[in-house]
Amino acid sequence: MSVEAEESNDLALRVETGVETAQVRPGGRQRRSILEKIAFWTSLVGFLGGLGGSIAITVTSGAVSPSIIILAVSALISTVVLATGLRWAPLMSTLLGGYNLYLIFTEPFVIQSLSNPYGPNGGFPHFVMDVLVVACTITTFGTSLGAAVQNYRSDSRKAPRWLLPALGIVIGMIIGAIFIGALAHPVTAATTYTNGVATVHMNASSFAQSSVTIEKGAKVLLVDDTTAVHNLYNGSWQNGAPTINREQGAPLVNGLQVSGKSVTVGPFAIAGTYHILCAIHKGMDLTIIVH
């Protein structure tokens, strides 16, 4: 049998069995599969969401989130790489997607938003955007991994059987998360005590409560529930600017850095009203009332 006849029979067999082959183009490019196309678009949405989230956090809290900026840049690189159609593009997109998932679930602003949909830094709209970015990043990672496996283990470029059920699960997660978030009530913090010391928690960009009342001679325990860095001083935010001012009788708080740990301020020996601010996060104030 001639070479031409063998190629004709092979093509007929592939048409009959419904197997779509990868069409390699000059320069090592190939026609993108459905998995690569989905990964491209979800990566693009992830980039836009990360960019928007970074801008929103900077405007509302006055602090830049390096992790979200890195996430947006990684998603942009993934989008550009997938657009090339190179055979190794899905593999690189898989690595970037996995890294972005790590950034998302270790980023204080994202954790805060997902745990408190009506919290600071954008409230419910920010929560919805975070849900979409998480869903897009998961989808980018999964479809990129599937495309990489197709490219290196099989000639088939057809959509796998698991694609539609997987997309259905992701869409269901998005709808369910947004629905539950819409029904959630804003988290309000009450003063708790640790070994008899009044305890005030801090989230990514604010104190969990705006004020705390203690007895004369008592202390206040400040607990950072995230890995966000806070730089604390005596004073308060006024007209959008941090105003450092140590009231008479206030314990000295001067550039006290807290990140994922707890610190004790005090004792407050004189009755009165005192203020502590974070110089990094806009509007982050705590009023301490001493009786």
pLDDT tens-digit map of 33-52: 899 999 999 999 989 988 88
User: For residue 22, what pLDDT is reported?
Assistant: 46
pLDDT tens-digit map of 213-246: 999 889 999 988 887 889 999 999 988 888 998 8
Pairing of strands 272-278, 285-290: antiparallel
User: For residue 188, what pLDDT is reported?
Assistant: 64
Q: Among 138, 134, 73, 41, which Cα is nearest to 32's?
A: 41
User: For residue 209, what pLDDT is reported?
Assistant: 84
Domain final residue, candidates 132, 165, 183: 183
Is residue 222 within 8 A of residue 200, CB to CB? The reply is yes
User: For residue 173, what pLDDT is reported?
Assistant: 87
Domain final residue, candidates 183, 207, 224: 183
Q: Are residues 203 and 75 in the same domain?
A: no
109 assigned to some structural domain: yes
Is residue 40 within 8 A of residue 91, CB to CB? The reply is no
User: For residue 124, what pLDDT is reported?
Assistant: 83
Cis amide prior to 267 (ω within 30 degrees): yes
Is residue 130 within 8 A of residue 43, CB to CB? The reply is no
Q: Are residues 116 and 223 in the same domain?
A: no
Is residue 103 within 8 A of residue 67, CB to CB? The reply is yes
Consecutive H or E run containing 70: helix 66-84
Q: Which domain holds residue 265?
A: 192-290
CATH number of the domain at 58, please. Answer: 1.20.120
Q: Among 96, 81, 88, which Cα is nearest to 150's?
A: 88
Q: Are residues 70 and 200 in the same domain?
A: no
Q: Are residues 79 and 173 in the same domain?
A: yes
Domain final residue, candidates 162, 183, 204: 183
- The distance in angstroms from the start CA to the end CA of the chain is 101
12 assigned to some structural domain: no
pLDDT along the chain (291 residues), means of 10: 47 42 52 89 91 80 79 92 90 93 83 76 79 91 90 71 87 87 72 86 84 90 86 90 88 88 88 91 89 87
Number of domains in the chain: 2
Q: Among 75, 203, 73, which Cα is nearest to 133's?
A: 75
Q: Among 166, 134, 129, 144, which Cα is nearest to 34's?
A: 144
Q: Among 130, 149, 142, 150, which Cα is nearest to 167's?
A: 142
